[in-house]
Amino acid sequence: AQSVTQLDSHVSVSEGTPVLLRCNYSSSYSPSLFWYVQHPNKGLQLLLKYTSAATLVKGINGFEAEFKKSETSFHLTKPSAHMSDAAEYFCVVSEGTYKYIFGTGTRLKVLA
């Protein structure tokens, strides 16, 4: 069965410092993996997705993620955090029926 584990429920960084949001997955298929961001009381916005092409995936707003099969990880990074990055981030794996398996989310706080 597929599953997603987001290792940190909360992450706090100072503005201008790097962001690392960790995600591990388990999948018996070649997975599709996604990162979405959700601002308060809003829907989810797609940041980036991995679909078995390049292992380093670049997304919007300066975010990127690296697919590491040996570590079953898909961590999300950004070199320099902005205040506007404060939000909830979800790591998602897609199973064969096109359903999404969601991680529990990581709340990113950016300190001035």
Residues within the interface to other proteins (CB under 8 A): 32, 34, 36, 41-46, 49, 51, 90, 94, 98-100, 102-105
Q: Are strands 87-94 and 100-102 parallel, antiparallel or unpaired?
A: antiparallel
Compute the distance between CA of residue 23 and CA of residue 3 in angstroms, rounded to an integer: 10
From the CA atom positions of the chain, what is the Rg in Å?
13
Provide the minimum distance between the beta carbon of 56 and other proteins in the complex, in angstroms, as a whole number. Answer: 19
Of 18 and 39, CB closest to other proteins: 39
Q: What letter does residue 18 receive in the DSSP assignment?
A: -
Q: Which is nearer to other proteins, 7 or 15 (CB)?
A: 7
In the chain, alpha helices (H): none
To other proteins, the closest distance from the beta carbon of 94 in angstroms equals 4
Look up residue 71 and give its two tokens: 């570590």
Shortest distance in whole angstroms from residue 72 CB to other proteins: 19
**Cα–chain center distance at 25:** 11
CB of 50 to other proteins, least distance (A): 11
Q: Which of 62, 102 has the CB closer to other proteins?
A: 102
